[in-house]
Structures are given as structure tokens and as C-alpha cells.
Amino acid sequence: MYRICFILFSVSVAFGQQDLRMYDIVNAVSATRIINDVETLANFGTRHTLSDTVSQTRGIGAARRWIKKSFEKISADCGNCLEVFEQKNYFDADGSRLTRGVWINNIVAIQRGTEHPNRYVIMSGDIDSRVSDPNNFTSDSPGANDNATGMAAAIEAARLLSKYSFENSIIYVGLSGEEQGLYGGKGLAQYALDNKWEIIGILNNDMIGNTDGIDGVIDNRSFRIFSEPTPPTETERERKQRRFYGGEVDGISRQLARYVYTTTKTYMPEMNPMLIYRLDRFGRGGHHRPFNDVGFAGIRIMEAHENYNRQHQDIRTENSIAYGDVLSGVNAAYTAKLTAVNAITLASLAWAPAAPKELAVGGVVAPDTQLQWSPSTSENLRGYKVYWRDTTSPTWDNSMFVGKNTQTTLKGIVIDNYIFGVATVGADGHESPVVFPTKVMR
Ligand SMILES: [Zn+2]
């Protein structure tokens, strides 16, 4: 009996999963509230970036004012726990999808962290929509799935997580100008740089409501996590080092993607997260990219099975096929599940200590592998967890908790045959993303 208890304890320490608040968050997501918000957004007629900003009922102006009010109402319900503001930049006509100069206004809601107010995890959806012609800013463009679902999910996550307090800050944001060239993301990424935000990662949600795929598959459990392999900001020296020490699939965005995968598998085991090893869909784009462009970790969360008849389409029927991104194409329960995936990932990252800043690995021509990392200064630190995996594995399959030591030797683990990383573990079991070594011990 003693033995069994001991084994159970070890397992729970090794794999986390002991924070019951995570299940409360999953269960609190409301499909009804989400679909109501999707409907409200769709009913603004069009939310095209160049559409009317003055009307109270139609156009992107009315939509963004409603989003701002929604965040303000949530804030009023939590003792003003959200800082809600409009972050805007003026962009000139670009000769393509910005046919004239326009203000691109993002709506930002910050839930300030108690210990690390300048360290952020971000969840984004988009405000704007489009039809067949990307420059048509007057026709009805409900954008119910693309991307009222991502926007409604961010609002719902704010509702749920504003009931808790976190050591890191959480940002819920509606970005504009996505369809015209990722302008809102560019503006906010620059704002983050200017204000020296320390960004843990951005979870960009774009189309999280379709379950009835153009490929004929109907699936309400799978979803995709897109992440680029390595940052585009890496130096030539880093690129050369990778050739000898590895890291082709271990950039910061990829680690964030693995974090979403693991958190989902831990707290929502019925779901089927798919790690997709590319920046985005083939040749297509999304609002995590401007953040990646300047060196921040960012991923795209998205339905597994898209329906192109319901994206970027004029509302019409042709050869008995109904086209258009209308409300009936959104599965409320599925959107709620992907909202829960976001909410538990945000919560876990916002409750976790910062990842080690630096990690060195050594063990060339030796039977053991050594790891050494910079200490965490968090008061909430339980210790560190060392991870390793086969070079061909997409996930961190092996781990060892090493307490508050800042170095360890993995006996009998030959460095050539595995990939290594380290994460910090907080008092409640929440972990930082895994850090990949950037130094070699000699
Ligand atoms: Zn789109």
C-alpha cells in the first residue's frame, strides 16, 4: 500500500495535472455566450478594414466599439482588473489591399500580473472580415468563422480568467487589418517592442469554429497548432551553429506549440491537437506572423478541417452550393472547446515561473549528458524539469524533475542520440515552455 501511494505521488509530480482550477476553467467555457458573440459580430454586416467607422450598427467602427465595451463590462465585473484601450497605427495606401490610408485600431485588454506585470502571454482574434474581392468593403461580410470565432473566444477567455489572479500578465486582443496584410499585428508587435514587453508567446486564433470540412471529414475533436521551425530573426552565427548542434525543429514558437499540445493532452485528453510543422497553411498567412517577424514566440490555433466555400466568399448560391461565411457554418460546442484550449494554456503560462534564460549542454564523446542553466528568481519556484526526446520525436517524451538544482547529469544518456531542454516548474505545478540549449559546455 505504501508503495502504491509513493508511485502515484511520483507520477503526479512528474506530469503536473494537480491544479484542479484547470478543470474548472475548461468546464466554465460557455458555448452559448460564444455563439451569441459570434452572431453579434456577424450582424455588423461587414467588418472590412476599410468599411464604415461612423455607423452605430454597421461596419468595423461599430464592431470595435462593441468589442471594447465587452472587455470594459468584463472589467467592471472583476473590480476593474482589465486595462482596456485602443492601440492604433495609421497605414498609408499600399497599392494593393489598402486602397487608401487608414487607421488600424486594435482593441487590447490587459489583465496585469501580480509578480511580473511586464511579462505577457497573449491571446488574439481578429476584428475584420472580407468577401471574394478583398477590396470590397461594402458587401455583406459576416465573417462568422473568419474570424468572429477567434474574437469571441478571446472575449470568453477574458470572462473566465478575470476571475483568477496570475503572476504574469495576460493580454486579450482583437486585431484589425488582418485580411488587408496583417496590419494590426504589425502595429501591436511594434508597440510591444517600443514598450519593451517581455512576451512569453502569442496564441493567435483564426477560424476555430468549422467542423464540416471541404475534405468531407466531420471532426469536432481535432485542431491544428501551426508554428514556424526557427525564428526569422536568428543570426548567421546561430544558423551555422544549428548545423552542428541541431535545433532545426526547436525554435521558440515550436516550443510554445508543444506547450499547447501538452497542456491540452493533460487537461482535455479527449482532444486531438495536431502539431503542424509550418508557419501557417501552405502559402497563406495569419496574425501570429508579425510577432514572429520581430522575434516573439507565436503560433496559430485553428480548426483541423477547413471549408473553403465558407471563407472569403460573397454570400450566394451557385450550382446548389451555398457560399458565404455565415453563422450556420460555426459549431458552437467546438469553438468552446478550442476556447478552453486557449484558456488553460494562458492560465498555465501565466501561473508559471519564467523559463531559464540560458541553457548549456555538454557531453561530447562521453557516456553522460550534462545540462546547466541560469537560476530562476521567481518566489513561486518549485524547481526545474529536464526534458529529452528522440531526435525524430515531435514531443518532449522523457522528463526528470531535479528540484532546485541548476545543473544535472543524465547518466548513460549519450548526447548524440537525443534532443534536450529544461523548463521551470512553479509551486502549483505549472511549467514554463521548454528552453532549448543555446550554449555548448566544453
Ligand atoms: Zn481570412
Tell me how far the alpha carbon of residue 337 lies from the centroid of ligand 1, in angstroms.
Answer: 21
Tell me how far the alpha carbon of residue 153 lies from the centroid of ligand 1, in angstroms.
Answer: 16
Tell me how far the alpha carbon of residue 273 lies from the centroid of ligand 1, in angstroms.
Answer: 22
Tell me how far the alpha carbon of residue 286 lies from the centroid of ligand 1, in angstroms.
Answer: 8
Tell me how far the alpha carbon of residue 42 lies from the centroid of ligand 1, in angstroms.
Answer: 14
Tell me how far the alpha carbon of residue 312 lies from the centroid of ligand 1, in angstroms.
Answer: 6
CA distance 414 to 417: 6
Q: What is the mean pLDDT of residues 139-153?
A: 98
Tell me how far the alpha carbon of residue 390 lies from the centroid of ligand 1, in angstroms.
Answer: 37
Which grid cell sits at 124? 488574439
Residue 17, pLDDT score: 61
Domain spans in the chain, listed from the N-terminal domain onward: 18-351, 359-440
In which band, very low, low, confident or very high, does the pLDDT at 12 lie, cut at 50, 70 and 90? Answer: very low
Q: Tens of pLDDT along 258-292?
A: 999 999 999 999 999 999 999 999 999 999 999 99
Tell me how far the alpha carbon of residue 303 lies from the centroid of ligand 1, in angstroms.
Answer: 13
In which band, very low, low, confident or very high, does the pLDDT at 16 lie, cut at 50, 70 and 90? Answer: low
Tell me how far the alpha carbon of residue 206 lies from the centroid of ligand 1, in angstroms.
Answer: 8
Q: Tens of pLDDT along 227-250?
A: 999 999 999 999 999 999 999 999
Tell me how far the alpha carbon of residue 311 lies from the centroid of ligand 1, in angstroms.
Answer: 7
Residue 188, pLDDT score: 98
Q: Tens of pLDDT along 307-323?
A: 999 999 999 999 999 99
Q: Given this chain, do its domains 18-351 and 359-440 carry the same CATH topology? A: no
With contact defined as beta carbons under 8 Å apart, do 422 and 404 qualify? Answer: no
Tell me how far the alpha carbon of residue 110 lies from the centroid of ligand 1, in angstroms.
Answer: 25
Q: What is the mean pLDDT of residues 36-45?
A: 98
- The sign of the torsion formed by the CA atoms of 18, 19, 22, 23 equals positive
Tell me how far the alpha carbon of residue 215 lies from the centroid of ligand 1, in angstroms.
Answer: 19
* Full 3-state SS string of 339-376: HHHHHHHHHHHHHCCCCCCCEEEECCCCCCEEEEECCC
Q: Can you tell me whether residue 418 is helix, strand or coil?
A: strand
Tell me how far the alpha carbon of residue 111 lies from the centroid of ligand 1, in angstroms.
Answer: 28
Tell me how far the alpha carbon of residue 92 lies from the centroid of ligand 1, in angstroms.
Answer: 21
Tell me how far the alpha carbon of residue 434 lies from the centroid of ligand 1, in angstroms.
Answer: 31
Nearest C-alpha neighbor of 295 from the set 195, 380, 228, 385:
228
Tell me how far the alpha carbon of residue 313 lies from the centroid of ligand 1, in angstroms.
Answer: 10
Tell me the pTM.
0.95
The CATH class, in words, for 18-351 is alpha beta
Residue 181, pLDDT score: 97
With contact defined as beta carbons under 8 Å apart, do 426 and 351 qualify? Answer: yes
* 55-76: burial string, b at 16+ Cβ within 10 Å, e else: eeebbbbbbbbbbbebbeebbe
Q: What is the mean pLDDT of residues 404-415?
A: 97
Q: Tens of pLDDT along 96-125?
A: 999 999 999 999 999 999 999 999 999 999
Tell me how far the alpha carbon of residue 358 lies from the centroid of ligand 1, in angstroms.
Answer: 38
To the nearest whole number, what is the mean pLDDT of the chain? 95
Tell me how far the alpha carbon of residue 196 lies from the centroid of ligand 1, in angstroms.
Answer: 30
Homologous superfamily of 359-440 in CATH? Immunoglobulins (2.60.40.10)
Percent of the chain at pLDDT exceeding 70: 96
DSSP letter for 294, please.
T
Tell me how far the alpha carbon of residue 284 lies from the centroid of ligand 1, in angstroms.
Answer: 9
Tell me how far the alpha carbon of residue 325 lies from the centroid of ligand 1, in angstroms.
Answer: 10
In which band, very low, low, confident or very high, does the pLDDT at 9 lie, cut at 50, 70 and 90? Answer: very low
Q: What is the mean pLDDT of residues 46-73?
A: 98
3-state helix, strand, coil in the chain (%, to 5): 35, 25, 40
* Full 3-state SS string of 45-76: CECCCCCCCCCCCCCHHHHHHHHHHHHHHHHH
Residue 379, pLDDT score: 87
Q: What is the mean pLDDT of residues 321-332?
A: 98
Q: Is the pLDDT of residue 146 over 70?
A: yes
